[in-house]
Amino acid sequence: MELFLATRNEGKIREIGELLKGCETSLTSLRDYPDAPEVVENGGSYRDNALKKARFFAEWSGKLTLADDSGLEVDYLNGRPGVFSGRYAGDRAGDRENNRKLLRELKGIPSQKRGAVFRCTMVLVAPWGHVEVVEGECRGKVALEERGEEGFGYDPIFVIPRCGKTVAELSTAEKNRLSHRGKALRKLRKILKRYLGA
C-alpha cells in the first residue's frame, strides 16, 4: 500500500518513515513532486490545516494521503505560537529564527512558568473520501537556551522533564516513544493495519 505524505519537511518525513516501519506501506511525499501545488495553511486549528492538506492532496494524487499539523503552545504566552508555530518569526523564517524569537519572549521568565505542550493532529484521507483523525501531545517546558543537535523545529528548546533533556538531545528511539508525533503515529499504525486487512 502506498501512502502519500503531504509534506516537504524532511524531519517529518524521516520521523513518519521510522514510526511506520514494518507497516507494509511504501511512502512518497511532496519532496518527490517538486512541481506539486502549495496549499495555504490558513485554518484556525491544527485539525483544520491537516484536513485541508490531506483532502487536497488525496484528490491531487489519487492516493491514500496523510497530512499533519503540529505546534507548540506555551502557557505563559496564552498558547502561542500554536498554529503559527512554523512561521512564528515570519513567513520566510526557519527553525532557528522561530526558536530565538520564542526565547526572547520568555527572557527572564523562571523555569516553573515556562510550561508548554507540543500538539500534533494527523489526518488520513482515502481517495474515495474517507477521513481518519488522530492526535498526540507531549507536555514539557521551554528551555532557557537551545540544546542538542537532533530533531528539528522547536526540539532544541523543548524540555521533557522526566528526561531532563530537550527533544533535540534525545535519541531517535526516545523521541519516537515520547513525542507528540510519535503518539499520534502509533494510533495511525492501528488504522493503517485495518486498511491492509480490508
Residues marked as catalytic: 69
Instruction: Say if CB 136 and CB 188 are below 8 A apart.
Output: no
Is 126 exposed, middle or buried, given 0-12, 13-18 or 19+ CB atoms closer than 10 A? middle
> Are the beta carbons of 156 and 147 closer than 8 angstroms?
yes
d(CA 33, CA 178): 31
Q: Which of 175, 161, 70 lies closest to 111, judged by CA?
A: 161
Alpha carbon distance 115, 171 (integer Å): 23
Q: Please, are residues 14 and 171 in contact by the beta-carbon 8 Å criterion?
A: no
Contact between 175 and 154 (Cβ < 8 Å): no
**Nearest-angstrom CA–CA distance, 111 and 182:** 26
